[in-house]
Structure 1
Amino acid sequence: MPDFRAAKKASEVGWYDPEFDRVLIEQSIAKQYGVLPSQQEDLSYSDWYKMVGGLMPDTPLGQVVAIRSEQDRDRLKHFSPAQRRERAEWAAFAAHKKRTPQETENQKQQLASLQAAFASMFKRK
C-alpha cells in the first residue's frame, strides 16, 4: 500500500488542487456521497481527504481531471473549446505553482534591469 504521507516524486503529476478546485470538490462530494457543501465544513480533515481520494470519474472533479490528464493526441484534436480552455487554465496554474521563490526573484531582477535599460535609452537630455 502506498504511503500517502510521503512526498510526491518529481515525475508524479497532480491533476487537481484543493484550493484551485474547491468548488468542483464540493460539488463532487455532494454528488457522490450526498454531503451538501454546507455540511462538509463539519467533516474532519481525514474524512474529507478520504472522500476526495475516492471520487469517481463521473463526478464534476473526475470529469475535469479526465480532461486535464488526457494524453491521446487523437482525442485531444476533438476537444471542444471549453475542454481546451480547461486544459490551458490548468497548465497555466500548474506552471505558476511550480515556480520557486528564487525564480520569481530572478524574474523581478531581470525586469528591473530591463526597465532601467529602457529608462536610460529614452531619458531626456
Structure 2
Amino acid sequence: MQYPNKDIYDDGMDWQEFTTLLSGIMPETPLGQIVQIRSETDTNMIKKFNSSQKKIYNDWQQKILESMTDVEKKQRSKEMQEQLRKAFSKFR
C-alpha cells in the first residue's frame, strides 16, 4: 500500500487531502495502473495493450463519450476532421 499510515476509510478526510493523496498515487499501485491506462494518449502504446488493458481503456472512453453533450460531440468531431485534413492534405 502506498500510504500505509493513512486510514483510507476515514470519513473525516477532506477533499483537498484526498485529491493531494490521489494526485501522488504511484503507477505501480492498482489504481495508478488504471489511471495510467485510462489517460494514455499514445496510439502506439494503446495498440500494445493486452485485452484487459484494452477493456479498461475502451470502457473509460465510452463513459467519456456518453457524458458529453451534443455540442461537445460536434466540437470533438470538428477537431478530428481538422486533424485528418491536416494529416492527409499532403497526399493531394
CA distance in 1, matches of 2:19, 2:39: 21
Total equivalences in the alignment: 70
- Separation in 2, partners of 1:68, 1:75: 12
Root-mean-square deviation (Å): 2.2
Where does the alignment leave 5 or more consecutive residues of structure 1 unmatched?
1-30, 104-125
Aligned partner of 2:41 among 41, 52, 71: 71
How far the C-alpha of 1:65 sits from its partner, in A, is 1.8
TM-score (norm 2): 0.60
Structure 2 alignment gaps of length 5 or more: 74-92
Larger Rg over CA atoms: 1
- Show CA shifts across 1:43-90 (max 9, x none): 122211211122222222221122122233332222111111111100
Q: Does 1:61 align with 2:31?
A: yes
Query: How far apart are the structure 1 equivalents of 2:27 and 2:34?
Result: 9
Q: Distance in 2 between matches of 1:33 and 1:51?
A: 8
**Length-normalised TM-score, structure 1:** 0.47
1:94 deviates by 0.6
What percentage of residue pairs aligned between the two structures are identical? 29
Cα distance in 1 for partners of 2:13, 2:69 equals 32
